[in-house]
Every structure is written in C-alpha cells, then in structure tokens.
Structure 1
Amino acid sequence: MNKEVRLTDLGKKDYKDTWDLQEQLFKGILDLKIKNRREETNIPTPNYFLYVEHPHVYTLGKSGDIENLLLNEKQLTEKGATFYKINRGGDITYHGPGQIVGYPILDLENFFTDIHKYLRFLEEAIILTMKEYGLSATRSEGETGVWLDVGTPFARKICAMGVRASRWVTMHGFAFNVNADLGYFDNIIPCGIRDKSVTSLNVELGVDRVDEEEVKEKILKHFTSLFEANIIIDKKEESV
C-alpha cells in the first residue's frame, strides 16, 4: 500500500486542460493496476492531489439534467463562462475564481476500498477546516457536500462534491467556495436542488477576502490526517 500522495497546485487553469490531465493520471494508475494483475507484479500505484482554480465554467454530471442550466450558448458567452458535460457523478455545478477546487486521483486500494467512506473523508476535511474558522458545518442526509444550518429554512451549501471511480481509482473531487462570486450560481439550479442556496467562506465570516493559500494548507492538513497520507509537494505550476 503506497500512501504517498503527490500534490500539485496548478494555479489558474482551464477546465478542459485540467480534465485532460486528470484523465491522463487516472489512466496511468488504471493501466498499472491492470499490468500488475496480468503479469502478477506488485509495482506500487501512484496517488495524486491537484489544487486548481478555474475560469468561470459550468459542469454537468452524467446523471444531471441539462434543464438545470439556465443559460443558452449566447448567454454563456456573455457571462464569460463555458459549459461541459462530464463523467463524474452528480448534477450541475459551477467553478470559478475564488473557489478552491481539489482533485484527488487516488488508488483507494492504497487506503481503503469504500467509496462512501472516501466521500465522507473529503467532506470531513472541509468540515474540520471550517471549524478552524469558527463555523459549524455538517452533512445533509442523502446529499453529498458540506452545508451550513441543515434542517432550517436557511440551509446553504458551501462545498460541492462529485467523483468518478473505476477499479477503486478516483478522479474529480470537491469545489469549496472561499471567495466565490455567488452571482454565477444564479444561472443554474445548483446540484439540481431548488430549495437550498449556496454560500462562500468570506460571506460567512463577514470579510471581503479569505487567504486562499491558508485555506488550502488547512484542507491538506486534515486530508493528510484522515487518509494517513504522506504528502509530496510539487512546485506550483504557472497559471494558464
């Protein structure tokens, strides 16, 4: 079991370019697993964690409903946004500036073979991070992600999650609103849920801006602890 996780901060990067990178890393792990089984070898499979910030983009999961996107092609262009149908679970969501996006590309056989536990651990890393800012976040029964004031009329989502897994290898991940422009969520029915709103960490703290690098460090600390991982940090890539 290889618990080393190579962390790369991609900075600001186009969604499609990042998706292609994820697919490349994902396929590399799968190919090695298949090779190990066919040739009865035991070459350790790698694990990756990508941090990234995307330009304005809407993505629709494979089980999502296109009707939850409230913009046509012309309106998307006017908003400076793009749209992709992708191969993760979940419905529609938004990525953009001021949002910390994390893509763990892990061979779960290096950690545990339980996709529900995996999602709960990702949620817990965000919940523990918010606790450090004095905020009590939680889960919402039957829904992935991290929420505030669940069970009240003021329930609001602060972190969306959607993953793909094959042969226990994961891709896609979480999107944590830290300094996000919440107006972009008005153009969709987030995650297909009509009766709950979204929020951002800076809004909850009543400040103009939260230090995103500090938030990344806190998330990584809790991720490392939960997964009992050994993080190998790559040099931050130049923005694209």
Structure 2
Amino acid sequence: MAPEKHDNQMPCWWVDLPETDYLKALDLQLAIVGAKTAGRLDSDVILCIEHPRVFTLGRRGGRENLCVSDAFLSEKRVAVVPTDRGGNITYHGPGQLVVYPIIDLNRRRLKVVDFVAGLESAMLRTAANWNIAATTDPANRGVWLDGDKLGSVGITVRRGVSFHGLALNVNTDMEPFGWINPCGLNQVRMTSLECHLGRPVAMAEARQHMARHLSAVFGIALTTVSLEQLYAEIESGD
C-alpha cells in the first residue's frame, strides 16, 4: 500500500460527471494536462465519470486480444479507441466507476509506483465498504477478488502530470469483457461489486466512498467544483 501523503497546500478539485463519451473525456483530460504543464492551472483535478460502451487500447496495444470481429462490434455499437495510457485492452461501460486523477506528481512528491499503488488502495477501500475483501497482485496491476479482476489501473505521466487512471466495476455489464482478453491476460474473468454481492450497488454511494478514500490515501483535501467552473478556469489563461 502506498504511504499516505500530506500536502494540503496544493488544491485538488473533484469533478463529478455524468456518463460521457470516452473521447470527449479524453479531450478534457488533455486540456487539463495542457493547462497545468503551461502553468495556467495550479489545482490538481480528479474527474469521476462513467462511459458508454467502449474498448480502449493501451501503449502495449491490445487489438490482438479482441476476440470478436469489427462487424460484430459495429452491430453492437462498441467503439475501439487507441490511447497512450499504460497497459493493454480494457472495457469501459455504464455501471463502471472511472476516475481520472490529473495530478502533479512532482509537486506532491509522489513516485509513479506509489501513485499506482495508491489508486489500487482506494479501490480496495471502496470495496471494503461493502465488506468485500479484494486484494492486489504485484505481477498484475489492479484489484482482484477470488481470482477474478474487480478493477484496473492504467496511467500516463506527461511532464510530471498524471492522467488516465482507474476503473472499478460496480454494476457493470460483464458480457463485453467476454469479447476480449482483459488487459491482455488469457482466461481472466472479470467481476463486479454487484456480481459478488448478488444485488445492485448505488453508484452515487460508490462515488462518494471513492472520493473519501482517494483523499485519505493521498492526504489531500478535495473541493467539489462543477464542469463549468473547471472550463472557466482552464480557459481563463488562454
């Protein structure tokens, strides 16, 4: 588990977003990264979001781990999007809690390995709110439950600023995971909080727990701001 950090001098904004197209969310991340690296935005930002159904490819590729045809995906209206995050192919969809921390790791004195471990810790703590004892695996990043994968981590760091992040399966439809080798791993099954408990889990509650645990793990105070406030701050320096 990553050591808890304490640097309350730097603000960190929490932006709670509705279901948003993956590419639109990526554009927002890149705009925040650009504003931070250009010195126009001092605050760190954590985006909390869900996506419509989409497969994303990591820097290690992943199309070779797609087990269905392009025609099948077209029929199902599921896009495949290359990205520059770490890792291999993964799936995002409604009911999956996705968190994108755009954090200045250098200013917060966070090593990448500790940052990734901290994201895993936040997922473990969130699952524990439903008395679910998930674990980590040093050989395969993410969080695991009885041999099945519950959550994934994949980040990119640009000039010391992180983006991309974590995905925790809350009430996710598991079927699309069967169309890939998740994260490039053969015969790995995915699971969710809902699957383990046998009942739905309130996404609003999962979001609240995640915010609280990220704050505790990294020792930062989160301030909730709207998307409009965020855009206004980003654009004010242009």
Give the TM-score of the pair, scaled to structure 1: 0.88
**For 1:65-98, what per-residue CA distance to the aligned partner results, in whole angstroms no more than 9, with x for missing partners?**
3211123322111112111010100000000011
How far apart in 1 are the matches of 2:27 and 2:68?
Answer: 25
Q: 1:233 aligns to what?
A: 224
Between the two proteins, the alignment pairs up a number of residues equal to 221
For the Cα contact (< 8 Å) 2:35–2:41, is it kept in 1? no
How far apart in 1 are the matches of 2:143 and 2:61?
Answer: 19
Q: 2:135 aligns to what?
A: 138
Q: Which structure 2 segments of 5+ residues have no match?
A: 1-6, 229-238
Deviation at 1:213, TM superposition (A): 0.6
Deviation at 1:44, TM superposition (A): 7.4
Which residue of 202, 212, 216 maps to 1:221? 212
- State the secondary structure of the residue aligned to 2:26: helix
Structure 1 runs of 4+ with >6 Å offset: none
For the Cα contact (< 8 Å) 2:181–2:188, is it kept in 1? no
How far apart in 2 are the matches of 1:232 and 1:67?
Answer: 41
How far apart in 2 are the matches of 1:44 and 1:69?
Answer: 38
Q: CA RMSD in A?
A: 1.5
- State the secondary structure of the residue aligned to 2:119: helix
Deviation at 1:230, TM superposition (A): 1.4
Deviation at 1:139, TM superposition (A): 0.5
Which residue of 55, 59, 64 maps to 1:58? 55
Q: Which amino acid aligns with 1:222?
A: H
Which residue of 69, 85, 99 maps to 1:72? 69
Q: Which amino acid aligns with 2:89?
A: I
How far apart in 1 are the matches of 2:222 and 2:110?
Answer: 20
**For 1:149-188, what per-residue CA distance to the aligned partner results, in whole angstroms no more than 9, with x for missing partners?**
2xxxxx1001011000022200000111000000010111
How far apart in 1 are the matches of 2:169 and 2:38?
Answer: 34
Q: 2:16 aligns to what?
A: 9
Q: Which amino acid aligns with 2:75?
A: E
% identity of equivalent residues: 34
For the Cα contact (< 8 Å) 1:5–1:48, is it kept in 2? yes
- State the secondary structure of the residue aligned to 1:197: coil
Q: 2:26 aligns to what?
A: 19
For the Cα contact (< 8 Å) 1:161–1:175, is it kept in 2? yes
**Matches for 1:145-156 after TM superposition, within 5 Å:** 145-149=142-146, 155-156=147-148
1:107 paired with 2:114, answer: no
Residues 216, 236 of structure 1: CA spacing in aligned structure 2 closer, same or farther, 3 A cutoff?
farther
Which residue of 169, 173, 192 maps to 1:177? 169
How far apart in 2 are the matches of 1:44 and 1:187?
Answer: 40
**Matches for 1:178-197 after TM superposition, within 5 Å:** 178-197=170-189
For the Cα contact (< 8 Å) 1:100–1:212, is it kept in 2? yes
How far apart in 2 are the matches of 1:58 and 1:3?
Answer: 34
Q: 2:233 aligns to what?
A: none
Q: Which amino acid aligns with 1:29?
A: K
Q: 2:158 aligns to what?
A: 166
Q: 1:117 aligns to what?
A: 114
Deviation at 1:211, TM superposition (A): 0.4
Q: Which amino acid aligns with 1:228?
A: G
1:199 paired with 2:206, answer: no
1:30 paired with 2:32, answer: no
Give the TM-score of the pair, scaled to structure 2: 0.89
Q: 1:88 aligns to what?
A: 85
